[in-house]
Structure 1
Amino acid sequence: MELVDDGFAMGIVTINGERMLCFYTDILGFTRSGTVTFPGMGTVHKLAHGRCQIKILVLDNEPLAANPGGGFTAATGFRYCSFQVAEIELVAAQCRAFGCQLVVEPAEIRPGVRAAAVEDPDGNTLEFMQFDAQ
């Protein structure tokens, strides 16, 4: 496969649009970069943070099933997205203050590497990694 862009976009499907958009913009710092409406399905809200892109599809109607939540090991398939951050304790505190559940509290997982995991408002697991300067 030859990629024409070395970035990556993640898609999240929700019926909880307002809260999800608030979390990803106000708490994680993504900016809104556009919307696309698909009549009868929903609206995709495009968010960007550097080269990271997230597309949040807010459905017009209730889906047939929901995310099982429960962190990394609750189910198979795409279970988490990972972000490298500068201040893991601050990110964890902001997520907690927003009402999100920390699945893994910030901790050193090996020398010079700290990790934490949080569930967004819909129960999607996000991993945060902090690598200390060598």
Structure 2
Amino acid sequence: MIRAVHHVGISTPNLARLRSFYCDLLGFTELSHITWQPGEAQIDKVMALSGTAASVAMLKMGPTCVELFQFEAPPQPPRDAGDRPVQRHGMSHLCFDVADVEADYQRLLAAGVRFHAPPQDFGSVKATYGRDPDGNVFELQQIVDG
């Protein structure tokens, strides 16, 4: 039986920048950092790629882990210009529960983080979407009822 685990992997062109965002601004802690060079057949097999080389940082906050990958090989396809819209197929966003969405929004906004809008009040939830340095969407959500 599959157990629910709070774990997501994100590929990035700049591991140091994204690590700084998730650790320094959002409060994750780095658990490990590994690298590998081409020739790791098991990793290539699992990823359905050939000749991979990468650096990986595993970050943790509470029960949530974020695994950041910076691939050196194989070559990356060109990235679409602009931010990926949230309705596009694939991962939509990461959601973080917070105690005070207004305070976290103001703190991150002051640090230069881009948001789609200020926190919105949906009755039992206040929420907003922001972008990490690579344009990935994250949500700050404060449950205010129940």
TM-score, normalised by the number of residues in structure 1: 0.85
**Alignment correspondent of 2:78:** 65
Indicate conservation of the 8 Å contact 1:106/1:116, yes or no.
yes
How many residue pairs are counted as aligned between the two chains? Answer: 130
Runs of 4+ in 1 over 3 A off after TM superposition: none
Matched residues in 2 for 1:66 and 1:93: separation?
30
Offset, 1:71: 4.3
**Alignment correspondent of 1:43:** 55
Unaligned runs of 5+ in 2: 39-52
**Alignment correspondent of 2:67:** 55
Offset, 1:133: 4.8
TM-score, normalised by the number of residues in structure 2: 0.79
Matched residues in 2 for 1:114 and 1:23: separation?
23
Identity, % of aligned pairs?
A: 25
Q: Write the letter of the residue equivalent to 2:22.
A: Y
Matched residues in 2 for 1:114 and 1:71: separation?
21
**Alignment correspondent of 2:111:** 98
**Alignment correspondent of 1:122:** 134
1:23 is aligned, of 21, 34, 42, to 21
Which structure is higher in strand share? 1
User: How big is the alpha-carbon RMSD for the aligned residues of Structure 1 and Structure 2?
Assistant: 1.9
